[in-house]
Amino acid sequence: MSGDYQAVPLPDVPNLTDEEARVQALAYLDHVRKRHSVRDFKDTPVPKDIIQACVRAAGTAPSGANHQPWHFACVSDPNLKREIREAAEIEEAEFYGGRGGDEWLNNLSKLGTDQFKPFLETAPWLIAIFVERTGKDAEGKKRKNYYMSESVGIATGFLLNALHAAGLATLTHTPNPMKFLSEILRRPNTERPYMLIVVGHPADDATVPAASLIKKPLEDIASFFSEENESTD
C-alpha cells in the first residue's frame, strides 16, 4: 500500500435482518416509483436550504479516485433563468426544426415535447450540473480526473432522489449543445455542461405523458446468476 493510504473503521454499518432489508427495499421501490418528470411547475418558492441539503446528498456519491468531478450551479435568479430559457429555446428550435433527425423526433412526439420551455422560468430552481475535466489537489496543482461521466451520472441520480424525497418535482433537460450554460453561469473551461435539472412543486393541473409511465419489466432489464436452490420467497 502507498504511504499516503490511511484506513478508518467503516462508519454507519447497516445491521438489518433479511426481512428488514426486504421491507426497506420494497418501501424504497414504492417511493421511487412515484417520481415523475413533469413540465408544469408552480412558481412557489422553494427554500434555498432544502436545495443545499439535496446537493450535499449528491456530493456523497462515489467517484473515480474520490475526485468528485462535479459542480452544481443552482439558479433561482429570475434574470438568469430567463437568459437560460432564451438560449435553450434557440438550440431547441434548431433541434425540433430537423437537426434531431426523423427517428429521434418521432420518438419524442410520444412525450409531447417541443421547442418551447416555459418551465425554465416558472420553476423556482434550475440546477445546472457540470463535469469537471480536471481538478486541483490539496496544494492547488492540476490533477487528472477519472471516470468523470460515470461519477457525475451517479451523483445526478443521488440528486434526483434527494429532491424527490423532499417532495419536489423534477425534470431532466439536456438541450444540445449546452455550451450556453457555461457562458451564462461563468464556469471555467475545465468543465463541460452535463445536464440541467428543473426543480419545484408540480402545478395543480400538471400532466405526464402516458408513455412515460410504461417501464420495462424486471426480466427485460436484469439477469440473475444464482444458485439453483436459492429462494427469494
Q: How do residues 179-210 score in pLDDT, each as one tens digit? A: 999 999 999 999 999 999 999 999 999 999 88
Supply the pLDDT for residue 130: 98
% of the chain beyond a pLDDT of 70: 95
Nearest to 68 by CA among 145, 129, 16, 124: 145
Band of pLDDT at residue 229, cut at 50, 70 and 90:
low
Distance CA 71, CA 191 (A): 8
- Domain architecture of the chain: domains with CATH: 37-203 (3.40.109.10)
Per-residue pLDDT band for 3 (boundaries 50, 70, 90) equals low
Q: What is the 3-state secondary structure (H, E, C) of the chain?
A: CCCCCCCCCCCCCCCCCHHHHHHHHHHHHHHHCCCCECCCECCCCCCHHHHHHHHHHHCCCCCHHHCCCEEEEEECCHHHHHHHHHHHHHHHHHHHHHHCCHHHHHHHHCCCCCCCCCHHHHCCEEEEEEEECEEECCCCCEEECCCHHHHHHHHHHHHHHHHHHCCCEEEEECCCCCHHHHHHCCCCCCEEEEEEEEEECECCCCCCCHHHHCCCCHHHHCCCCCCCCCCCC
Q: With bands split at pLDDT 50, 70 and 90, how would you rate the model's confidence at 2?
A: low
Average pLDDT over the chain, rounded to an integer: 92
Residue 34: pLDDT above 90? Answer: yes
pTM above 0.85, yes or no: yes
- Per-residue pLDDT, averaged over 137-165, amounts to 94
CA angle 155, 211, 30 (to 5 degrees): 55
Look at residue 197 in the predicted model and tell me its pLDDT: 98
Average pLDDT over residues 146-160: 97
Contact 160, 31 (CB under 8 A): no
Instruction: Report the 10 Å Cβ neighbour count for 127.
Output: 22
Mean pLDDT score, 8-20? 93
Look at residue 137 in the predicted model and tell me its pLDDT: 82
- CA-CA distances (angstroms) from residue 50 to 46, 76, 95, 114, 116? 7, 13, 34, 30, 28
